[in-house]
DNA sequence: ATCTATAATTAGAACAGTTCTTAAGTAATA
DNA sequence: TATTACTTAAGAACTGTTCTAATTATAGAT
């Protein structure tokens, strides 16, 4: 926890209590929270925290490569503190997002018609389906 | 063109001039237009057309499985009259989206840890990169 | 320990994209 | 051609996100 905080200070952050709360909530969080959910969590400790602070901090983390913006949900952004390349599966019933740690890059080559005119820098696989909880 | 129109009439549509303009603009369109672009195109012919009409028609088409909502761009929806399953590549410079007609489903299997709790109904691969026009 | 410069905070306005509301209009059927 | 149900247009409303401006707090220097 102490080195977690100092890690972000070393990134040029000015560490405020609000930011520590956001960082603490995100650290190791695999639930892909939305800005709304992060806001709600921090608000329990800091009732006057604003959305601006949440978005500012998320933006700052993204800019420094410490946060992945998960865009599988067209309605809103989700945030993932795991910045290792990976993929996602989303439940179409409850909108839950789970991580998929498989490296498909070997098999995901573009056809020549596209690769000739496109310099690919990354890929992301989205799986859609129904999760176990919603299957009943 | 005539059978194109009657196809949609057969789907339970009431065919209005505005809808014909939208359908005509979309038919065979591989440019993945946004609602804004569709609105602008139809507006040239029908200056009083409203966004509501555009969105209504797009919704109606989607509901009937005649239109794919492409969600690769987190900023806005793009629409694709090609409903065959396929994937997309987006240029991070100019936001251009191109189709990728490759069936990766053989290789895109979920790991057991996820597949046990997830009943997958579909997948979509997003490629990011820089297109030829923007590479200069 | 205190001061200072700079960055972060809050509240709320503003914004973009999309959906909803309502009255008026129009296509399809009989 | 009359009827009925559906569609339209205009703009209000809504959701998620970004911006603004005044205030406050952090980090580093003194």
- Residues from chain A that touch B80, judged by Cβ atoms under 8 A, are none
For chain B, list the domains and their CATH numbers: 2-80 (1.10.10.10), 87-134 (3.30.1490.190)
Q: Rounded mean pLDDT of A76-99?
A: 95
pLDDT at A3: 55
pLDDT at residue B34, as a whole number: 98
- A124 strand-pairing partners: B126
Q: Which bases of strand D sit closer than 7 A to a protein CB?
A: 6-12, 15-21, 25-27
Q: What percent of chain A has pLDDT over 90?
A: 79
Distance CA B59, CA B65 (A): 10
Q: For residues A52 and A16, give the distance between their C-alpha atoms in angstroms, rounded to a whole number.
A: 14
Tokens 């978005």 map to which residue? A55
Q: Does A35 touch chain B (CB under 8 A)?
A: no
Distance in angstroms: CA B4, C1' D4: 26
Average pLDDT over residues A12-39: 95
pLDDT for residue B59: 96
Write the pLDDT tens digit of every residue in A71-81.
Answer: 999 999 999 99
pLDDT confidence of B72, banded at 50, 70, 90?
A: very high
What percent of chain A has pLDDT above 70? 96
Which tokens go with B105? Answer: 């489903």
- CB < 7 A from strand C, the residues are A 13-14, 16, 18-19, 46, 48-53, 56-57, 60; B 9, 14-17, 34-36, 51-52, 55, 59, 75-77
Kind and range of the H or E element at A2? helix A2-9
- Of the candidates B89, B112, B47, B34, which has an alpha carbon nearest to the alpha carbon of residue A98? B112
Q: Which of A9-13, A131-135, B47-51 has the highest mean pLDDT?
A: B47-51
Q: In Å, what is the separation between the CA of A35 and the C1' of D12?
A: 27
Q: How far is the CA of A70 from the C1' of C10 (A)?
A: 27
Q: What is the pLDDT of residue B42?
A: 97
Mutate one of B72, B89, B106, B118 to test the A interface: name it (highest A CB count within 10 A). B118
Contact status of A28 with chain B (Cβ, < 8 Å): no
pLDDT in tens, B20-42: 999 999 999 999 999 999 999 99
Average pLDDT over residues B63-92: 95
ipTM for the whole complex: 0.90
What pLDDT is recorded for position A9?
A: 81
Does the pLDDT value for residue A83 go beyond 80?
A: yes
Q: What mean pLDDT, rounded, does chain B reach?
A: 92
* Distance (Å) from the alpha carbon of A2 to chain B's nearest alpha carbon: 32
Residue A101 zone, left/alpha/beta (φ > 0; ψ -120 to 50; rest): beta
CB contact under 8 Å between A132 and B122, yes or no, is no
Tell me the average pLDDT across A86-93. 95
Closest CA to B47 of B17, B27, B68: B17
Instruction: Give the mean pLDDT of A77-102.
Output: 95
Which chain A residue is nearest to residue B112, measuring alpha carbons?
Answer: A100
Q: B71 to chain A: which residues are within 8 Å by CB?
A: 71, 74
Instruction: Kindly state whether B118 is in contact with chain A, defined as any CB-CB distance less than 8 angstroms.
Output: yes
């Amino acid at each position: 926890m102490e080195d977690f905080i100092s890690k972000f200070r070393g990134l040029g952050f000015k560490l405020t209590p609000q930011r520590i709360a956001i960082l603490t909530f995100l650290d190791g969080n695999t639930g892909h929270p939305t800005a709304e959910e992060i806001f709600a969590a921090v608000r329990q400790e800091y009732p006057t925290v604003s959305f601006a602070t949440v978005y500012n901090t998320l933006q700052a983390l993204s800019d420094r490569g410490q946060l992945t913006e998960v865009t599988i949900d067209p309605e809103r952004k989700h945030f993932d503190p795991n910045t290792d390349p990976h993929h996602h599966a989303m439940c179409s019933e409850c909108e839950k997002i789970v991580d998929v740690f498989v490296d498909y890059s070997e098999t995901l080559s573009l056809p020549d018609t596209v690769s000739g005119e496109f310099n690919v820098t990354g890929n992301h696989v989205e799986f859609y389906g129904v999760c176990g909880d919603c299957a009943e």
